[in-house]
Amino acid sequence: MPATQRIAVVTGGMGGLGEAICMKLARMGIKVVVTYSPSNTKSATWLKEMEARDYHFHAYAVDVADFDSCAAAVAKIQKEVGPIDILINNAGITRDTTFKKMSKIDWSAVISTNLDSVFNMSKPIVDGMVERGWGRVINVSSVNGQKGAFGQTNYSAAKAGMHGFTKALALEVARKGVTVNTISPGYIGTAMVTAIPEEVLSSKILPQIPIGRLGKPEEVAGLCAYLASDEAAFVTGANIAINGGQHMF
């Protein structure tokens, strides 16, 4: 462990993959800050549930699609918690529909929340990492950003764009002790995925996955934990697939 406790910010950390990532980082001895949407009415309940399980997170409401909201939140986090060493851009939404039916609102909502957010959160944080000579940026993309998906032109475009951002920023900060990487999960057993009807899972989704099962949130969290560690210092600009073999490239 470093002389001082490292601080991680996980966007969209309340529930699903974000929750598993937060818990894993906390078990590594990292101080975890969770961001959540201002419209989330269950944030206090979630924090109490985590406290009962001995996870003590800091939490801040942030509109990740709004640059000024992100800048203000980061400034507040740095003042109240400390300098940010690890940023995990995990927040995301879907507005699935065919391109023929997709509205500009559907397109813009997904691009701003899933892709603009990566710039909005990284911009006020990365310079500090560079100045201190250590940092980790991990962008949570998707298998559908690699292979595309029917009804997801907006989502696939945003998730593919995340990795373009990763590669370019990684080149800029590579000599400064800061790594920037993408992970691309496949179908993971979060509440959102397990809510899919069983017949759809068994007939449409699982047959696409050579391993024959959904991924576990803890498996994705383990990959994030590695990329956030000192041991991953030689990994940068990478897009690491974690999809059970569903898409190989």
Q: Which amino acid makes up residue 241?
A: A
Residue with tokens 């509109």: 63
Residues annotated catalytic, as ranges: 155
Nearest C-alpha neighbor of 62 from the set 116, 3, 5, 135: 116
What are the b/e assignments for 227-245, b being 16+ CB within 10 Å? Answer: bbeeebeebbbbbbbbbbe
Whole-angstrom Cα distance, residue 30 to residue 55? Answer: 11
Q: What is the DSSP letter of 215?
A: B
At 97, which amino acid appears? T
Q: Residue 80: left (phi > 0), alpha (psi -120 to 50), or beta?
A: alpha
d(CA 116, CA 244) in angstroms, rounded, equals 28
Query: CA 74, 40, 55 angle in degrees (round to 5)?
Result: 70
Pinpoint the alpha helices (H) of the chain: 16-27, 43-52, 67-80, 104-111, 117-132, 143-147, 153-173, 191-194, 198-200, 217-227
The phi and psi torsions of 225 (rounded to 5 degrees) equal -60, -40
